[in-house]
Amino acid sequence: MSDRKTMKVGSRKSQLALIQTNKVISKLKELHPDFKFEVVTMTTTGDRILDSALSKIGEKSLFTKELEVALVDKSVDFVVHSLKDLPTALPDGLAIGCVYKRDSPCDAVVMHPKNEGETLQVLTVGILSLFCSVIGTSSLRRCAQIRRRYPKLVIDDIRGNLNTRFRKLDSEGRYDAIILAEAGLHRMSWSERISEVLSPEDCMYAVSQGAMAVECRAGDLEIINMLNEIHDPDTAIRCIAERAFLKHLEGGCSVPVAVDTQITDNKLTMRGGVFSVDGREAVEESSHVIFSKASGGKLHNGNQLYASIVGCLDQDPAKFVAAEKLGTEIAETMVNKGADSILRAAKRKAEEEILEEHARKRARKEASPTLQQAVVS
Ligand code: DPM
């Protein structure tokens, strides 16, 4: 080890991002009491744009770009992210040094206080069915699957960080419920607001949902060795399969693509889904791989990446290779079953919406000077 004893850690400023960053730091501190960890916070494009649905902004790496620039120019040593916010292709020279043991990957329903303790099913029946219940989410994946499962519910965009969303839900009266990741809700200590956890049978989760990842420079072996101590092999293997799947479908953060994976000692099972945003069309596929007995002796050197994730240094690489292959094969089968045309249509629609959103913003900008003039005169 070199004499580098102070690690600079990049993080977004949101409460959730800081909770996640501090969780990783406290684990590393336990293992390295002699190290200092200094948090450097940054605002990302995704944090700045609060008035558009994520899928309507039209830029990749919304929540990561500024932090990655800081990694490349060495103003930080590593960055803690929600893995699901990390694109499947990272900038050259960067890698996911470790993934932390996954929390629940499922989606959860948070009700407006007037519906406390209810379920989505209840919102579709009884008196409430006279008025359509409105569910807040900006995720095309959640939207498509909820429309498919509960055609009577109406979906409406909701943006902003978790705190903003809760305020909108509780005080605006516009939404009957919102859908969020269960993991994020627990981390924020809002578990008691969860009315229902959606089973992956009803709503498959996003690629890597519930897993935290640490991004670092791919050649920084000192950091990679340290991160390896908190690298969770089972989480890594599942997320490699899921990310390889998404990568093969060329999906970004805002496509209606969903997964469900399970792992045991020797078997990885995966289900993947692609949906049209209206919920009418779906292509699903599942498969599994049985891991062969350890090939013996051959371990990682720290440079090998699987879907941008560094393999666990003390593990047989065969499992990582098999996971990547499984995700890619399921995606390939789904493309042959028509998943690509569903995705193309979803992307075309998203692009049209991006153009409309830009036009609306331009119009608003052009309108505002006149407004100011009017006020002055
Ligand atoms: C991505 C999506 C969302 C986030 C899309 C999706 C949700 C957007 C929305 C890729 N990133 O899930 O289909 O609901 O409008 C995000 C959250 C977490 C990480 C919040 C959430 C939670 C913690 C985690 C935003 N990124 O999904 O409720 O999964 O580790």
Largest CA distance in the chain: 82
Q: Which atom of ligand 1 is nearest the CA belonging to 138?
A: 15
> How far does residue 210's CA lie from ligand 1's centre (Å)?
9
Which is the closest atom of ligand 1 to the Cα of 53? Answer: 15
The C-alpha angle with vertex 321 and arms to 80 and 244, in degrees rounded to 5, equals 55
Contacts of 304 (CB under 8 A, 6+ apart): 310, 311, 317, 320
54 CB under 6 A from ligand 1? yes
Atom 4 of ligand 1, residue of closest alpha carbon = 85
255 secondary structure, DSSP code? S
46 within ligand 1 shell (Cβ under 6 A): no
Fold classification of 107-198 (topology level): D-Maltodextrin-Binding Protein; domain 2 (3.40.190)
Of the candidates 77, 54, 98, 355, the residue with the CA atom closest to the CA atom of residue 229 = 98
Residue whose structure tokens are 């009700």: 111
Q: Which residues of the chain have pLDDT under 50?
A: 1, 370-377
Please enumerate in sequence order all residues whose Cβ is within 8 A of that of 157, keeping only pairs 6 or more positions apart, or say none: 53, 136, 137, 138
Report the separation in Å between the CA atom of 138 and the middle of ligand 1, taken as the mean of its atom positions: 9
206 in contact with ligand 1, CB cutoff 6 A: yes
CA of 198 to the centre of ligand 1 (A): 15
Ligand 1 and 180: CB distance under 6 A = yes
Q: Which atom of ligand 1 is nearest to the CA of 141?
A: 13
- For helices 317-336 and 339-376, angle between their N-to-C axes, nearest 10 degrees: 90
Ligand 1 contact via 231 beta carbon (within 6 Å): no
DSSP-derived letter for residue 314 is T
Question: Measured on CA atoms in the order 166, 141, 151, 184, is the torsion positive or negative?
Answer: negative
Q: Is 82 in the pocket of ligand 1 (CB under 6 A)?
A: yes
Tell me, using a 6 A CB cutoff, whether residue 84 lines ligand 1.
yes
Q: How far is the CA of 282 from the centre of ligand 1 (A)?
A: 21
pLDDT of amino acid 375: 41
| H helix count then E strand count, the chain | 11, 15
Residue with tokens 């099913």, as numbered in its chain: 121
CB 308 within 8 A of CB 88: yes
pLDDT the model gives residue 51 = 60
What pLDDT, on the 0 to 100 scale, is given for residue 55? 57
Distance CA 191, CA 167 (A): 16
Neighbours of 31 (CB within 10 A): 10
Q: Which residue has the tokens 């919304």?
A: 62
Report the pLDDT value the prediction gives residue 183, as an integer from 0 to 100. Answer: 98
Token couple for 155:
């979906």
Structure tokens at 337: 């079953």
Atom number in ligand 1 closest to CA 83: 30
6-104+207-299+306-350: CATH, from 3.40.190.10, 3.30.720.210, 3.30.300.30, 1.10.275.10: 3.40.190.10
Ligand 1 centroid to residue 21 C-alpha, Å: 16
Nearest atom (ligand 1) to Cα of 187 = 23
Name the residue with the closest Cα to ligand 1, atom 6.
139
Give per-residue pLDDT as tens, 245-271.
Answer: 999 998 665 689 999 999 998 999 999
pLDDT at position 310 is: 96
Catalytic residue among 85, 107, 176, 234: 85
Residue 137, ligand 1, Cβ within 6 A: yes
Strands 305-306 and 78-82: unpaired
Q: How many residues does the chain have?
A: 377
Residue nearest to atom 11 of ligand 1 (CA): 85
Given this model, what pLDDT does residue 355 score? Answer: 82
pTM of the model: 0.91
If you write DSSP's letter for every residue of 50-97 in order, what string do you get? -SS-GGGT--SSTTTHHHHHHHHTTS-SEEEEEGGGS-SSPPTTEEEE
Domain ranges of the chain: 6-104+207-299+306-350, 107-198
Active site residue 85: yes
Tell me if 184 CB under 6 Å of ligand 1. yes
Is residue 237 within 8 A of residue 244, CB to CB? The reply is no
Mutate to test the pocket of ligand 1, among 23, 85, 109 (most ligand atoms within 8 A of CB): 85
Who contacts 168 (Cβ-Cβ below 8 Å, separation ≥6)? 136, 158, 160, 174, 175
Same fold across 6-104+207-299+306-350 and 107-198: yes
